[in-house]
């Protein structure tokens, strides 16, 4: 597995090794020993699956109670994944990275606690799956306005389809900050 560091500390792109031939390909998408050897958590409490049509934007979400680390990937379609650093002591606080994900590359993104997360479906429908390190907590969930000009995120789409909850997100300057760097 190839590990690529991003511009945000702790946010990693993981590229599994693919074994291809005329029939198609095989790749190992999760191996606990390899994941923990990279310093990622050994405890995962839930797997989630999201199917979204083209131009849907989901996020930017995070939890202040039961904060979650996430390991995300795409099984069909393609998405522009977005990670926003909300860790107040991070040298990259307030910055974001975008990572294009599709099933053929097999790329996964590790999003540590303390980061907001969202994605836009560039080619859909997209099947997006993610493992999380803590339980969902509705009372602790927060949403940052997906199109906040202060973040200037290039979502890779022209006309976004956004839920009422995501359209009502708070601007970045009003987001709750994580005081520790997270894990």
Domain ranges of the chain: 2-174
**Which structure tokens are listed for 129?**
């799956």
Catalytic, 66? Answer no
Task: Please report where in the chains the tokens 């009372």 appear, as a residue.
Answer: 139
* Spatial contact of 55 and 159, defined as CB atoms under 8 Å apart: yes
Residue 40 pLDDT > 90, yes or no?
Answer: yes
Partner residues linked to 3 by β-bridges: 14
Catalytic residue among 61, 62, 96, 117: 61
Residue 181 pLDDT > 90, yes or no?
Answer: no
Among 159, 157, 162, CA closest to 146: 162
Count of C-beta atoms within a 10 Å radius of residue 10: 23
- What's the pLDDT tens digit per position in 53-112? 999 999 999 999 999 999 999 999 999 999 999 999 999 999 999 999 999 999 999 999
E strand or H helix at 49, and its extent?
Answer: strand 46-52
**Which structure tokens are listed for 69?**
């680390």
Fold of 2-174: Jelly Rolls (2.60.120)
Residue 182 pLDDT > 80, yes or no?
Answer: no
Catalytic residue among 19, 117, 130, 173: 130
Burial class from Cβ neighbours inside 10 Å (0-12, 13-18, 19+) for residue 88 reads middle
Find the distance separating the first CA and the last CA of the chain, reported in whole Å. 21
E strand or H helix at 164, and its extent?
Answer: helix 164-167
Catalytic, 62? Answer no
Average pLDDT, whole number, for the chain? 95
Looking at residue 179, what is its pLDDT?
78
């Amino acid at each position: 597995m190839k590990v690529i560091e991003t511009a945000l500390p702790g946010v990693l792109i993981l590229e599994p090794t693919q074994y291809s031939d005329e029939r198609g390909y095989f790749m190992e998408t999760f191996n606990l020993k390899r994941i923990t050897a990279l310093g990622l958590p050994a405890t995962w409490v839930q797997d989630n699956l999201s199917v979204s049509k083209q131009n849907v934007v989901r996020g930017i979400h995070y939890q202040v109670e039961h904060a979650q680390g996430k390991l995300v990937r795409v099984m069909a379609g393609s998405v522009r994944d977005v990670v926003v650093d909300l860790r107040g002591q991070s040298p990259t606080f307030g910055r974001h990275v975008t990572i294009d994900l599709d099933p053929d590359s097999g790329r996964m993104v590790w999003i540590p606690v303390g980061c907001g997360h969202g994605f836009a479906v560039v080619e859909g429908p997209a099947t997006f799956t993610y493992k999380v390190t803590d339980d969902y907590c509705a009372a602790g969930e927060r949403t940052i306005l997906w199109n906040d000009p202060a973040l200037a995120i290039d979502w890779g789409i022209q006309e976004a389809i956004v839920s009422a909850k995501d359209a009502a997100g708070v601007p970045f300057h009003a987001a709750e900050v994580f005081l520790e760097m997270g894990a």
